[in-house]
Amino acid sequence: MDTPLDRMIKTFPSDKKRILKYCKQWHKGTEGHAQPWSKEGTFDNDIAEHTLTYIRSTYKKKKRQKREAILSLWRVSGHEKPKEKSTVPEEVVAQTQTESPGESLGEPPPYGLYPILPAAGYQDPVRVEPKEERLEAQGAEATPLPSHQLLELPQNRAVETG
C-alpha cells in the first residue's frame, strides 16, 4: 500500500525534492511534540495544523512561505480520494490501438489554390500626350488654341474661353 509520502510524490513529481526534504525536517522538528509529523507524512488535518504552528514559530517569513505552500499541498491531497483506474472495455482499447491518429477523420476536402494574377509589368508605359496630339491621333482637326484654353462640353465640343 502507498504511504502518504509516496502518494504526494506521484501527485506532485515536480516538487519531489522539497516534499522529501520538508517531510524529513518536520519529522525531526516535531519529534517530541504531542502530535509529531510522521516520517511517511500524513493527511491528518490535526497534525497538519500542529505542523503549521511549528513552521510559523520556527522559520523566517521567506522560508516559512515555501514550507506552508508544500504543507497546503498535503492538506489538499488528503481530502482527495485516490484515483482508481477506470475500466475500459477491451474492444475499445483494441480499436484505439489499431487506428492511426488521423485515420478516423478521413481524407481532407480538396482546397483550391488561390488564383494566380498576372504581375503588373512595365512593357507598356503610360504616355501622357498634350490634348492637340490626342485630337490629331483621333482624326479631328487641330485647333489653333492652346490646350489650356479649351473647355470640353458634354457634347464633346470645344469652346473658346476668355
Rounded Cα distance, 51 and 36, in Å = 8
Could you give the percent of the chain with pLDDT greater than 70?
49
Does 61 have pLDDT greater than 70?
A: yes
Q: Per mean pLDDT, which range of 18-32, 39-53, 141-155 is the poorest?
A: 141-155
Q: Above 70 in pLDDT, residue 152?
A: no
Across 133-157, average pLDDT: 58
Structural Rg of the chain based on CA atoms: 44
For CA atoms 71, 77, 78, 79, give the dihedral sign: positive
> What does the pLDDT look like over 99-132, one tens digit per residue?
566 666 777 666 665 566 666 655 555 666 666 6
User: Alpha-carbon distance 30 to 43, whole Å?
Assistant: 16
Q: How far is CA 111 from CA 107, 108, 114, 116, in A?
A: 12, 9, 9, 15
